[in-house]
Amino acid sequence: MTQITQITRRRVPLGSPIFPNRPPLPPEEIARRKAEREAFAQRCREIFQRVYPELVKDHYGWFIYIEPDSGDYFIDEKRKVARQKAKEKHPKSVILAKCLNETGCVGRI
């Protein structure tokens, strides 16, 4: 016997919180998270700036994924393949994606 579940959509007015029952984060927690993100980004930037000059010559436009704790980086012409290489070696780690071009940006700005 097949059970049918009815999906009800909840409209959220513009400017209102998506999860109104969730209490807002205290300013200390927001500041701590921001500091962690900045420290992570800085460690990744250092690795990127170190390897960029030698990689961009032969691999312009390729994607690079950086795992800052180990200093490992993974490059490939295809974004999914580079990400897969990084996640195979560091499945639980947070990794940063960049592109080997003038800006280092991935995707649209």
> What are the tens digits of pLDDT across the range 74-88?
999 999 999 999 999
User: pLDDT over 90 for what percent of the chain?
Assistant: 69
Closest CA to 56 of 99, 95, 106, 97: 99
Q: What is the pTM of this model?
A: 0.75
Band of the pLDDT at 109, cuts 50, 70, 90? low
